[in-house]
Amino acid sequence: MLVIYLIVWGKLFCFITLKKKMFSFAVPDPLMPDPSKQPKNQLNPIGSLQELAIHHGWRLPEYTLSQEGGPAHKREYTTICRLESFMETGKGASKKQAKRNAAEKFLAKFSNISPENHISLTNVVGHSLGCTWHSLRNSPGEKINLLKRSLLSIPNTDYIQLLSEIAKEQGFNITYLDIEELSANGQYQCLAELSTSPITVCHGSGISCGNAQSDAAHNALQYLKIIAERK
């Protein structure tokens, strides 16, 4: 009789040969968690979110590492996950954890959706992230119409605050990403990302991080002004 123990896909199997016949059975391992007893979205939230997108006919989720910070012994990563016109931000001690965290937030958002309910994503996220170029051009909002009349060249204007007010009025989010590498002329750089549909990303530079963010906000405002005025 020959006894062989083998681990296959995280399970321990015992193979016994007796007179040219082989018998096998799984041996429970108390040190390994039983996947069947864990919540489905905790097993693989990234895969679960992808399956959800395919089921409803949405585009597949896109993950982007937006920020990395903290000391060497305690790094923190921030990942942005986009699904159609919606966006979630995840954080973690590793890039993988940040990605999982963003996916888990999406799954929590859609947890009440029945598998048989083939609804559109816009019905799930509501109107808070439904800012499109068409809605900007036809918006009666005070801030966006003030932007149409503004020259955006008045000294000491707080462009970051102005962009924030328009974002609040029009229902989109702003994310500033500081670029670690200096520009060719030695200036700080920043990207301003607007969660409009489609996504808008504007570059800015300056003698400090604050100046770079202000310049990025200024460029974003100029872009929004052009789009809002276009017929």
Rounded CA separation 204/198 (Å): 20
Candidate from 3-7, 30-34, 131-135, 158-162 with smallest mean pLDDT: 30-34
Does 113 have pLDDT greater than 70? Answer: no
Cα angle, residue 98 at apex, residues 97 and 100 outer, rounded to 5°: 65
Would you state the pLDDT for residue 112? 53
Determine the average pLDDT of the residues in 39-51. Answer: 76
Contacts of 25 by beta carbon, 8 Å cutoff, 6+ apart: 13, 14
Digit-coded pLDDT (tens) for 22-35: 444 444 443 333 43
Give 130's pLDDT tier (boundaries 50, 70, 90).
low
Does 120 have pLDDT greater than 70? Answer: no
Give 148's pLDDT tier (boundaries 50, 70, 90).
very high
- Bigger pLDDT: 19 vs 193: 193
Would you state the pLDDT for residue 213? 95
Does 118 have pLDDT greater than 70? Answer: no
Which residue is listed with tokens 């993950």? 63
Q: Which phi and psi angles does 96 have, rounded to 5°? A: -65, -40
Q: What is the DSSP letter of 193?
A: E
